[in-house]
Amino acid sequence: MTDINEGKEYDNGQVKISDEVVATIAGLAAVEIEGVYAMSGGFTGGISDILGRKNLSKGVKVEVGEKEASVDLYIIVKYGSKIPDVAWKIQEAVKDAIVNMTGLKVVGVNIHVQGVELKEAELEEEKNS
């Protein structure tokens, strides 16, 4: 993984887009999708971190080349959501956001569902009991 892509040559110089920028764009696009509870920091004996909007890039791993980017997103879904539908919507939104904002070609958006948020489901059960 590179810290800064090679950049594009323009008449006035180069434009370089860091991995962190691409990761933030991807994370923001992902959390806007209905059914996404939060971004996840990954597994270390369980879900170690559930991250809010301030740390969007923490649940995202990107590899940025000169003209292409590959993205892995680690998410927690809301209970009752159709995971394949949520994943497809995330893939489309992330790809569109990166292409529109950076001009990079997105070669892959991999979704890693690391958990299901059960708090809302548990609250509903308690109300119905």
Number of other CB atoms surrounding residue 65 within 10 Å: 14
Helices (H), 12-118: 19-31, 83-102
The pLDDT confidence band at residue 10, using thresholds 50, 70 and 90, is low
Domains and CATH numbers, the chain: 8-128 (3.30.70.1350)
Q: How far is CA 116 from CA 8, 18, 54, 82, in A?
A: 41, 31, 21, 11
What pLDDT shows up at residue 70?
A: 96
> Quick check: 15 pLDDT over 70?
yes
Contact (Cβ atoms closer than 8 angstroms) between residue 64 and residue 15: no
Share of the chain above pLDDT 90, in %: 57
* CA 24/CA 39 separation, integer angstroms: 11
* Global pTM value: 0.76
What pLDDT shows up at residue 118?
A: 86
